[in-house]
C-alpha cells in the first residue's frame, strides 16, 4: 500500500472514530440520565378541584396519611398494603427532592431490609390504588386499619396541621352535637326561606353570610363520617357553584371567629331565620337545628 493511501485511510478511520465518540457523548442513553435534565421532585404540592396545596408524588398522584400513624407508628400491614401503596426509596437514600410549596419535615421509616418509606411530619405517606388519574382524591376520609385516611397539607410544618379534612364534616359546636361544618371546622348555616335552592341571600347579605362554593361543578363533594344528607350545587354566577345540603344552600357566618362557634344560630335576617345544619339529616324537615336555650 502506498504511503499516500495509508495516510488517507488512517485519517478516514480516525475521523470516523471521533464521530462515533462524539455521537455517544452527545446523544442521551436510555440507561443514563441527561446531565442537567429536570427531574420531577419526589414530593410536590398540587391543587385539586376543591383542595389547594395537597401533597402529591412525582407524577402528581395524591398522597395520603393514616391518622393513627403519627410518629411513624405503622398500622398498615400486609392486607392494608393491597390498597395503600407506601412511597418508598432504597435504604441508601438519605434525602429526597421536594417541589415549591412543600414545607414539612421529611423523614423515613423502615419497611423491609432494603427499603424505607418516606414520612411527612412524622406520618408515613401512601398512594391509594383507586386513584387512577392525577387530580383524584378517592381515598379522602376512608376509615380503615384503626384510623382515617386523609390527604396532607404540603405546606404544613407540624403534625397537627398536616391532615386535610373533607369539604364537609360533622362536628360538635357549643351546646350542639352533629353540626355540619366545613373542613376548617366552621359551623355551617342555612336560611329558612331558601329551601329548594331558592337563593335569597344576595348583595349586602353576602358580607355577613359566606356561601360555601366550589369553582367547578364538582361531583361528588367529599364528606366525612356522619354526614348523611343529600349534597348538591346551585349556580352562583357564571363559574362558581354553592354547595347545598338537603336542597338548602349553606353558609358560614362572619360573626363566628373560630371553629366550634354558633353565633349565627337563630338570627332573623335576609327574609328568614338562620339555623345551624344537622349533618346526619336526610330530609329537608330535619335539616335545620332549632335553637336550644339554657
Alpha carbon separation from 35 to 28, 32, 59 (Å, rounded):
9, 9, 21
Q: Is residue 29 in a domain?
A: no
pLDDT of the residue at 214: 84
Whether residues 212 and 285 fall in one domain? yes
Whether residues 202 and 120 fall in one domain? no
Q: Is residue 55 in a domain?
A: yes
Whether residues 137 and 177 fall in one domain? no
Q: Is residue 8 in a domain?
A: no
Whether residues 225 and 198 fall in one domain? yes
Q: Is residue 116 in a domain?
A: yes
pLDDT of the residue at 287: 98
Whether residues 223 and 260 fall in one domain? yes
> pTM to 2 decimals?
0.71
C-alpha torsion 251→257→260→266, nearest 10: -50
Check residue 60 and give left, alpha or beta (phi > 0: left; psi -120 to 50: alpha): left
Whether residues 141 and 237 fall in one domain? no
Whether residues 113 and 197 fall in one domain? no
Q: Is residue 4 in a domain?
A: no
pLDDT of the residue at 219: 63
Q: Is residue 204 in a domain?
A: yes
Whether residues 83 and 127 fall in one domain? yes
Alpha carbon separation from 188 to 129, 175, 271 (Å, rounded):
33, 15, 18
pLDDT, tens only, 96-146: 999 999 999 999 999 999 999 999 999 999 999 999 999 999 999 888 888
pLDDT of the residue at 293: 64
Whether residues 117 and 53 fall in one domain? yes
Of 149, 164, 179, which closes a domain? Answer: 164
d(CA 63, CA 57): 7
Of 133, 164, 195, which closes a domain? Answer: 164
Number of domains in the chain: 2
Of 164, 185, 212, which closes a domain? Answer: 164
Alpha carbon separation from 97 to 32, 102, 106, 114 (Å, rounded):
19, 10, 10, 20
Helix segments in the chain, DSSP class H: 3-26
Q: Is residue 211 in a domain?
A: yes
d(CA 25, CA 218): 50
Determine contact, residues 221/213, Cβ cutoff 8 Å. no
Mean pLDDT by 10 residues, the chain (294 residues): 42 39 32 42 91 94 97 95 96 95 96 96 98 93 88 95 93 95 95 97 96 78 90 87 96 97 96 97 97 72
Q: Is residue 2 in a domain?
A: no
Residue 243: count other Cβ atoms within 10 Å of its Cβ. Answer: 25
Alpha carbon separation from 41 to 17, 56, 60, 99, 258 (Å, rounded):
39, 10, 10, 5, 36
d(CA 264, CA 275): 7
Helix segments in 2-82, DSSP class H: 3-26
Enclosing domain of residue 55: 43-164
Whether residues 142 and 234 fall in one domain? no
Q: What are the backbone angles phi and psi of residue 4, rounded to the nearest 5°?
A: -70, -40
Whether residues 172 and 198 fall in one domain? yes
Whether residues 192 and 256 fall in one domain? yes
Amino acid at each position: 500500500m502506498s504511503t499516500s493511501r495509508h495516510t488517507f485511510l488512517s485519517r478516514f478511520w480516525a475521523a470516523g472514530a471521533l464521530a462515533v465518540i462524539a455521537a455517544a457523548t452527545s446523544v442521551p442513553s436510555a440507561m443514563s440520565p441527561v446531565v442537567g435534565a429536570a427531574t420531577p421532585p419526589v414530593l410536590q404540592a398540587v391543587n385539586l378541584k376543591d383542595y389547594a396545596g395537597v401533597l402529591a408524588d412525582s407524577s402528581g398522584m395524591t398522597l395520603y396519611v393514616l391518622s393513627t400513624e403519627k410518629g411513624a407508628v405503622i398500622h398498615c400491614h400486609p392486607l392494608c398494603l393491597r390498597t395503600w401503596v407506601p412511597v418508598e426509596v432504597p435504604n441508601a437514600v438519605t434525602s429526597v427532592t421536594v417541589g415549591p410549596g412543600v414545607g414539612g419535615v421529611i423523614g423515613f421509616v423502615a419497611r423491609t431490609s432494603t427499603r424505607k418509606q418516606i414520612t411527612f411530619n412524622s406520618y408515613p405517606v401512601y398512594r391509594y390504588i383507586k386513584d387512577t388519574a392525577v387530580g383524584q382524591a378517592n381515598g379522602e376520609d376512608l376509615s380503615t386499619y384503626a384510623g382515617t385516611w386523609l390527604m396532607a397539607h404540603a405546606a404544613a410544618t407540624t403534625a397537627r396541621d398536616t391532615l386535610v379534612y373533607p369539604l364537609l364534616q360533622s362536628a360538635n359546636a357549643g351546646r350542639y352535637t352533629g353540626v355540619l361544618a366545613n373542613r376548617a371546622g366552621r359551623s355551617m348555616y342555612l336560611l329558612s326561606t331558601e329551601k329548594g335552592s331558592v337563593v335569597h341571600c344576595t348583595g349586602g347579605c353576602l358580607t355577613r353570610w359566606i356561601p360555601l362554593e366550589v369553582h367547578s361543578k364538582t361531583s361528588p363533594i367529599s364528606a366525612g363520617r356522619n354526614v348523611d344528607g343529600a349534597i348538591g350545587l346551585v349556580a352562583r354566577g357564571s363559574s362558581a357553584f354553592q354547595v347545598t345540603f338537603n336542597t338548602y344552600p349553606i353558609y358560614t357566618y362572619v360573626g363566628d371567629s373560630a371553629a366550634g362557634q354558633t353565633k349565627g344560630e337563630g338570627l332573623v335576617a335576609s327574609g328568614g331565620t338562620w339555623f345551624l345544619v344537622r349533618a346526619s339529616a336526610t330530609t329537608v324537615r330535619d335539616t335545620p337545628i332549632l335553637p336550644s336555650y339554657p
